[in-house]
Amino acid sequence: MSTLTNPKLESIYLEVVNRNPGEAEFHQAVREVLESLGPVLAKYPEFGQRKIIERICEPERQVIFRVPWQDDKGEVRINRAFRVQFNSALGPYKGGLRFHPSVYLGIIKFLGFEQIFKNALTGMPIGGGKGGSDFDPKGKSDDEIMRFCQSFMTELWRYLGEYIDVPAGDIGVGGREIGYLFGQYKRITTRYESGVLTGKGLGYGGSLVRREATGYGLVYFMDEMLKGRRQTIEGKTCVVSGSGNVAIYTIEKVQQLGGKVVACSDSNGYVHDEAGIDVELVKQLKEVERRRIKDYLKTRKDARYVEGGNIWEIPCQVALPCATQNELTGKDAAMLVKHGCIAVGEGANMPSTPEAVKVFLDHNVGFGPAKAANAGGVATSALEMQQNASRDSWTFDFTDHRLEDIMRNIYRTVEQTAEEYGTPGNYVNGANIAGFIRVAQAMVAMGLI
């Protein structure tokens, strides 16, 4: 890997690598942000003097805990869980919980680090954090999920609070899990503290649009970006990876705006449906029946399923990776460009490898980085917190309009910041710089914290 052009930033990066051995994803996320910050240090010398970058790279607090639980056979199981409270300069720690067997500290730290800048970009009063466990929800019964969530919260509750730390969902954590977690928090604390978790059910403090928000927000962002390039989503062929929460509502919004999504996937393979993905069928399979995407073919006989296939082989004009980190490589990016892809929007967190990002930027592909493009989920979480704080609940349309405004504003912010710092069209720089400055200025104002 080449060294960072700015020697000060290179030495900060090497220090991060030394202090956090074996955490490749965290190193990757830090490096990408530092690569954007040279001109910021030049413009704001106080950030260097006050060691803002070094402080931001060190989480304020990290909790690692044991989660013992019993499966349906009565067998005792043990998982490891994490909550990394990364930065609270702008508000209480805010960020999702991920339940997936690949989870370890390095994944939670990369996600928490990204969350700081993403949350800053929303303009809402929320700091950055992330948590999760190496628990694998696949194949578990409802009761097992409940027992796991209860045990998880029995440890985590003491670190949470509506003014302290407010978790939500991420991979493997949706409405069902948030319900069990909320129930256990309430039981232990005896407080009906609605604002302690977001993504709640609509009957007990949840917000309309939160379920749809990340996917819808991604498409609003992409629509604004395409407008700036004299294009629209309408009529575009799109490929969306994943078939979870973010993927489903990305597909739905693309279709509402007149685009055509021809493929989606899960970790086993992808489906290619030239007639356009039947999103209601995907919802039924994934949200209701919790089945594999392969079963899509049982209903849609003309579609094609490729076990273990690479979804980026399918030609498209707009690519929307919505599954997981590093799912889109440099080779995939080159293939997408060759097939005429003009825009990429990251619904997942850090789905494109650094090599892939370089290919997109070098070829003037409109590239919406995760921090900006998928901020609609957490922004709507902040709207849920607002509703909880005022004991109010807003209509779908009102909330959706607020989300849309926030996403179009984020696009304008990253576009203008990229331009201002001499790299027009590079929204990676735009997002990193705009998010960083907001956090850094708050930290300077608050003294040595």
Residue 377 as a binder of ligand NDP (CB under 6 A): the answer is: yes
Q: Give whichever of 321 and 430 is closer to ligand NDP, judged by the CB atom.
A: 321
Residue whose pair of structure tokens reads 């290619």 in the numeric block: 272
* Positions 117 through 136 that interact with ligand 2IT (CB under 6 A): 118
Structure tokens at 403: 């989300």
DSSP 81-126: EEEEEEE-SSSSEEEEEEE-TT--HHHHHHHHHHHHHHHHHHTSS-
Q: Is 96 in the site for ligand 2IT (CB under 6 A)?
A: yes
The Cβ of residue 113 has, within 10 Å, a number of other Cβ atoms equal to 25
CB of 193 to ligand 2IT, least distance (A): 16
Residue 345's DSSP bridge partners are 368
Q: Is the dihedral of CA 443, 371, 288, 254 positive or negative?
A: positive
Contact assessment for residue 150 and residue 65, using Cβ atoms and an 8 Å cutoff: no
x-or-dash string of contact with ligand NDP, 80-109, rule CB under 6 A: ----------------x---x-x-------
Binding partner of residue 205 among ligand 2IT, ligand NDP, none, CB under 5 to 8 Å per kind?
none
Which of 85, 151, 184, 198 is the binder for ligand 2IT (CB under 6 A)? Answer: 198
Task: Return the one option of ligand NDP, ligand 2IT, none that residue 94 interacts with (CB less than 5 to 8 A, by type).
Answer: ligand 2IT
Sign for the CA dihedral angle at 45, 50, 53, 54 comes to positive
Looking only at residues 26 through 65 of this chain, which bind ligand 2IT when binding is defined by CB under 6 A?
Answer: none
14: Cβ contacts below 8 Å, ≥ 6 apart: none
Residue in this structure with the two tokens 């232990």, named with its chain if needed: 188
Determine which residue in the list 95, 106, 129, 169 makes contact with ligand NDP, applying CB under 6 A. 169
Q: What is the smallest separation between the CB atom of 214 and ligand NDP, expressed in angstroms?
A: 4
The closest of 448, 325, 434 to 28, measured between CA atoms, is 325
Q: Which residues pair with 270 in a beta bridge?
A: 265, 306
Q: Name the DSSP letter for residue 287.
A: I
Instruction: Tell me which of 133, 214, 231, 388 binds ligand NDP, using CB under 6 A.
Output: 214
Q: 3-state DSSP call for residue 339? A: coil
Contact region with ligand NDP (CB under 6 A), list: 48-56, 255-263, 322-330, 424-432: 322-330
- 95 makes contact, choosing from ligand 2IT, ligand NDP, none, with CB < 5 to 8 Å by partner type, with ligand 2IT
Which residues does 283 contact at the CB level (< 8 Å), separation at least 6?
248
What DSSP character marks residue 318? E
CB 197 within 8 A of CB 181: yes
Q: Is 329 in the site for ligand NDP (CB under 6 A)?
A: no
Interface with ligand NDP includes 217 (CB under 6 A)?
no
In three-state secondary structure terms, 330 is helix
Look at residues 284, 281, 290 and name the one whose alpha carbon lies nearest to residue 261: 281
CA 306 to CA 100: how far, in whole Å? 23
CB-based contacts of 2, cutoff 8 Å, min separation 6: none
Which of 34, 320, 342, 348 contacts ligand NDP by CB under 6 A? Answer: 348
Considering the complex, what minimum distance in angstroms separates the CB of residue 410 from ligand 2IT? Answer: 13
Q: Of 41, 108, 171, 238, which lies in the binding site for ligand NDP, with binding defined by CB under 6 A?
A: 171
- Of the candidate residues 4, 27, 89, 94, the single one contacting ligand 2IT (CB under 6 A): 94
Which tokens sit at 171?
Answer: 């991979």
Q: Looking at 170, 193, 266, 273, which residue binds ligand 2IT (CB under 6 A)?
A: 170
395 contacts which partner out of ligand NDP, ligand 2IT, none, CB within 5 to 8 A by kind? none
> Active-site positions?
130
| Amino acid residing at 353 | T
- Binding segment for ligand NDP (CB under 6 A), chosen from 23-31, 48-56, 181-189, 236-244, is 236-244
Measured from the CB atom, is 20 or 122 closer to ligand 2IT?
122
Count Cα atoms within 13 angstroms, Cβ side, for 415.
16
Q: One-letter amino acid identity for 282?
A: V
Q: Point out which span in 10-18, 92-100, 230-238, 432-440 binds ligand 2IT (CB under 6 A).
A: 92-100
List the interface residues with ligand 2IT, window 352-381 (CB under 6 A): 377-378, 381
Q: What are the residues binding ligand NDP (CB under 6 A)?
A: 96, 100, 102, 169-172, 214, 242-247, 266-268, 322-324, 347-349, 374, 377
Q: What are the residues binding ligand 2IT (CB under 6 A)?
A: 94-96, 115, 118, 168, 170, 198, 349, 377-378, 381
